[in-house]
Structure 1
Amino acid sequence: MRCLPLFCLLLAMPGANALVLLTEDYPPFNMLEDGRVSGISTQILREAVNRAGLSAQFDLLPWARSLALAASRSDTCVYSAVRSAKRESQFKWIGPLVDDKIALFALTGSAIRLDSVADAKQYKVGGYLADAYGDYVERQGVTLDRAPADRHNLPKLMSGRIDLWVAGVISGAYKANREGYQGEVRVVITMGNPGDTQMWLACNPGMSDALFQKLDNAVQSVLQDGTAAGFAARYR
């Protein structure tokens, strides 16, 4: 049965007081498993939402769109987001949920060796739009070839269209294994301090203080009582 546009929109909207939690494909922290948004960060947040007695809609979108929607819509959050200086005032922050060291990956058979990130300037380095890890590498003076989404970078690395790929140490290796490239990529160099590599839940600044505090308290309880560590252990 067809419905009028406004009615369809109302049906698609979450219920009153429901949160919208947006993310990207960034395994093992956030990803689709059996058609459902899952991963370490997602499991932490699902548990926190339950403990807080809230309801939430989880959606996986391109990263730049997730960030933009969370910055513009109340009761909407985005994860797993690096808490960078550029983003600090755009959101209310909960976490950190997880940590993933920044790395440059090359093909296992590549002869590339780097003593510093700056040495990567001579190579073609792949990243993706709105990614804070890519922003960090660019601040070191390295020009990036930015793809619309990170899923494009592994095929580009395999085909030689890029020489190096910016990714998290954990996430990069997980993605390579998932996409059938187990043993075909290696970490050339790692970088970044905790503030550059920790990932958070970033909520719209218009979220009410009461709702934010309830969610924050629940997330902290999941992080502190060992539950989050148990989620992480499932993906090792």
Structure 2
Amino acid sequence: MARSRTAGALFALLISAAFTAQAELPANYAITLQTDTFPPFNMGPNSKSFARGDDVQGIDADTVRDIFRRAGIAYNLTLRGPWNRLYEQTRQQSAHGLFSVARTPQNAGLFKWVGPLAHHDSVLLAPAGKGLKFDSLAQAQGYQIGGHANGSVSLYLESQGITTSNSLNDAENLRKLLTGRIDLWAVADPVWRYYAQQQGVDESQLQVVLSYRSEPMYLALSPDTPEEVVSRLQNALDEVIAEGYAGCSKTPDLCYLIQNRSKTLAGSR
């Protein structure tokens, strides 16, 4: 009987501790989640550049909704631009989150992180008629390169000493490339394919000059985000990753974009 009472007391203590951990967050705590158009990871319906709630589509958007549900943390979600403004809001304002963000040496200390959500490849594109083909980034020096302000592709190039001329969105960079205002477009693959389709540009008109980096993407949270929130969200994402291809069931042809999440996760710990 004493052993039974001890076990019962221990169970009650564990339940109480779990309840206390869940109760650490303030009443009505919610995170303002934002992202910009970055297809197929985040996008609005019918190529719209603004969307709210369940209208925000894409692999990362689906995963983020799932982990917030599993973690029991309230949120409101908006897709809008420009990315540069969303980035600064998340860095400076409490209870904000931004996805899909690359974690780099330059920004690692600016946010708290949950991930990886997916990955993309960074490429340099040129008009196919230019006949360019590089073996290394060093060969890109001296070319006018279009990038996305505060986007991971541009930030990496800048960290390598390569200057980019940044636009507020990648759709503008595609137009600049085709009209000769830039020589190269630094962009994520497969993101560029969606913009080409949107603007009626055949992929054969563009050539990958160099594929130079595979980049995992994360949910970035305001630096003062409670550790309880970060822990619950990361644990929820760990569950999703362990289940395999959850997060791309709507688009099985894009599952390759999340296939290495478990390796990236293991390597970051």
Q: Distance in 2 between matches of 1:224 and 1:175?
A: 32
TM-score (norm 2): 0.75
Aligned twin of 2:36? 24
**2:248/2:254 contact within 8 Å kept:** no
Q: Which runs of 5+ in 2 are unaligned?
A: 1-26, 256-269
C-alpha offsets along residues 94-139 of structure 1, whole Å, 9 cap, x if unaligned? Answer: 1111111110011222222222211112321101211221122233
Aligned twin of 1:72? 92
Aligned twin of 1:210? 228
Q: Distance in 1 between matches of 2:251 and 2:233?
A: 20
- 1:189 matched to 2:210? The reply is yes
- 1:125 matched to 2:145? The reply is yes
TM-score (norm 1): 0.85
Aligned twin of 1:141? 161
Aligned twin of 1:220? 238
Matches within 5 A, 1:1-236: 16-34=28-46, 35=51, 36-60=55-79, 61-183=81-203, 184-192=205-213, 194=214, 197-226=215-244, 227-231=246-250, 233=252, 235=254
**2:174/2:196 contact within 8 Å kept:** yes
Larger radius of gyration: 2
AA paired with 1:171? V
SS in 2 for 1:41: helix
**Larger RCO (CA within 8 A; separation ≥ 6):** 1
* RMSD, matched Cα: 1.9
Q: Distance in 1 between matches of 2:42 and 2:248?
A: 15
**1:78/1:202 contact within 8 Å kept:** yes
**1:118/1:141 contact within 8 Å kept:** no
SS in 1 for 2:33: strand
- CA drift of 1:205 comes to 2.0
AA paired with 1:41? D
**1:176/1:185 contact within 8 Å kept:** no
**1:94/1:201 contact within 8 Å kept:** yes
C-alpha offsets along residues 181-200 of structure 1, whole Å, 9 cap, x if unaligned? Answer: 132222110112x5xx1110
